[in-house]
Structure 1
């Protein structure tokens, strides 16, 4: 089966993808994420998949597991793992409207990662229309919480991966048309400063500002960044009344490293910031962590298979480890052959200029179809 002969149509794919993108699905809005999962479940049911809904927990949306008809269904096969949550709040579609400009198509979550999820289903659809039976059964798992570190579904992803031989992750492709064969380790932290209240006008000097302490610590955290391990504070909340010295301030920080040992040292440095001085306490607690995923022989053999398919389609397929975590961190760290970054090309993820390169829908769709058709 030559994937180059499959009649992928980028315009038809865009038409289907538009409904996904315009169904906004920010992580913290479980109802919105579930509506997106409903659309994907319906599309896969029409394709003949058996759909299982797994209820959400911890305030997040649910999970969809779809198993496609196959003579070997139930045996270890291929898991396609993707997330349906985005970072864009409901209403972003008014600022980042669906629009096509030449080879670019814009929309919230189109690049990270609804485009990749959609082309994966199109690859399965095209193979089915060609009456081609893949050597291995295919399972698709769509989850609701990757953008916040996968706190509620890591166990499901790892359990499903363990039941399969390969994991394909259609996160965005690399700018050089490459794929991802490893990911850096990531740790999240919760920050809390506690001060002493007072009237900001009448008795300012009697108070101890939690906001001031948080600001001081933010600068200290940023200054800890090295080439081996980066630190950043991305969320801050503090104070309630402008005429009150703030009693509490909270924040969230992120640390990333290429090697697990470097991240472990970074975690120690962050936790060591906890303490009390000048009647103000600062507390750092560890949040969710993604382990470092370093490519092993199984992952590199999977990559070589993909590189050969890409070459047959007239394209080079470089590879590299990537920053920015994904659920491939978990499956790759488990030692299961994992190939990440199989989704669309584009740019400006997590911004109001997020777009995909339209031609990559067909190009990456064919690559995915080739993998599904040849992995055994």
Structure 2
């Protein structure tokens, strides 16, 4: 089967993808995520899949698992894995509407990772229309909380991956068009400062500001950054009334390292942080962690197969490890042959300039189809 002969149509794909992009689905709005899952589930059913809807947990949205009929349904097959939650709150379409200009299209979540999910589904449909049977059974798993570290779905992801031989992840392509064969370790931390209240106008000196303590610690945390392990504080919430010395302030920090031992050292440093004085309190608790995924022989063999297909399409790809976690961290760390970064090309993920290169829907779709058809 020659994937280049499959009639992928970028304009038709973009029209279908638009419906998904305009169904906003931020992680912390489970009802919105579930509306997106409804669209995806319908498309999968129409493609002939058997659907299982998995109820959300911990306040997150549902997941969808889809199995396609296969003569060898009992053998370990291919897991296509993606997420439908985005970082963009409902209403972002006002500032980032779906639009097209030349070979680019914009919209919330279009790159990370609705475009990749859509081309994966289109690859399945194209193989069906061509009468091409995959050598292994194919399962699709769409999840709902990847953008916050997959706290409610990690066990589901790992259990599903353990039943498969390969995992394909259509997260965005690397900036040079490459794919991902490894990812750095990532840890999240919850921060909490507690001060002493007072009237900010009448008795300022009697109070101890939790916001001030958090500001001190923010600088201390980010100054822990080295070439081997980075630290950043991305969320801070504090205070309620401007005329009150703030009693509480909370935050979230992120650490990333190329090696697990470097992340472990970072974990120790973060958990050792203490309050600046006895008048205030400061605590750090560990949040979700993504393990280091380092490429092994199975992963590299999978990449070589993808590389050969990409070269036949005139779109050579490089393998690389990447920062920024994905659910591929989990499956790769399990030792399951995983290939990530198989989604669309583009830029601006998580910003109001998030966009894709439209023609990548077709050539990356063909790459995905070629993998699905030839993996055994």
Whether TM exceeds 0.5 here: the answer is: yes
Name 1:31's counterpart in structure 2: 31
Whole-Å separation in 2 of the counterparts to 1:346 and 1:287: 30
Whole-Å separation in 1 of the counterparts to 2:223 and 2:322: 23
Does the CA contact (< 8 Å) of 2:195 and 2:247 recur in 1? yes
User: What does 1:216-227 align with in structure 2 at a 5 Å threshold?
Assistant: 216-227=216-227
Deviations 1:25-44 (A, max 9, x none): 00000000000000000001
Name 2:300's counterpart in structure 1: 300
1:211 equivalent in alignment to 2:248? no
Name 2:166's counterpart in structure 1: 166
Whole-Å separation in 1 of the counterparts to 2:103 and 2:273: 48
Name 2:93's counterpart in structure 1: 93
How far off its partner does 1:276 sit? 6.0
Q: TM-score, normalised by structure 2?
A: 0.99
Whole-Å separation in 1 of the counterparts to 2:125 and 2:227: 44
Does the CA contact (< 8 Å) of 2:21 and 2:114 recur in 1? yes
Name 1:246's counterpart in structure 2: 246
SS of residue in 2 equivalent to 1:64: strand
Whole-Å separation in 1 of the counterparts to 2:239 and 2:184: 35
User: What does 1:106-125 align with in structure 2 at a 5 Å threshold?
Assistant: 106-125=106-125
1:69 equivalent in alignment to 2:69? yes
Deviations 1:146-185 (A, max 9, x none): 0000000000000000000000000000111100000000
Does the CA contact (< 8 Å) of 2:82 and 2:143 recur in 1? yes
Name 1:233's counterpart in structure 2: 233
SS of residue in 2 equivalent to 1:165: strand
Q: TM-score, normalised by structure 1?
A: 0.99
Report runs of 4+ in structure 1 exceeding 4 Å deviation: none
Name 1:353's counterpart in structure 2: 353
Q: How many residues align?
A: 376
Whole-Å separation in 1 of the counterparts to 2:161 and 2:117: 17
1:3 equivalent in alignment to 2:3? yes
Whole-Å separation in 1 of the counterparts to 2:321 and 2:266: 20
Name 2:53's counterpart in structure 1: 53
Name 1:341's counterpart in structure 2: 341
1:143 equivalent in alignment to 2:143? yes
How far off its partner does 1:54 sit? 0.5
Unaligned runs of 5+ in 1: none
1:363 equivalent in alignment to 2:363? yes
How far off its partner does 1:278 sit? 3.7
1:287 equivalent in alignment to 2:277? no
How far off its partner does 1:274 sit? 3.1
Whole-Å separation in 2 of the counterparts to 1:62 and 1:127: 28
Whole-Å separation in 2 of the counterparts to 1:175 and 1:6: 26
How far off its partner does 1:94 sit? 1.1
SS of residue in 1 equivalent to 2:90: coil
Does the CA contact (< 8 Å) of 2:213 and 2:276 recur in 1? no
How far off its partner does 1:59 sit? 0.2
Does the CA contact (< 8 Å) of 2:111 and 2:347 recur in 1? yes
SS of residue in 2 equivalent to 1:253: strand
Whole-Å separation in 2 of the counterparts to 1:110 and 1:24: 10
SS of residue in 1 equivalent to 2:164: coil
SS of residue in 1 equivalent to 2:171: coil
Whole-Å separation in 2 of the counterparts to 1:363 and 1:94: 31
Name 2:153's counterpart in structure 1: 153
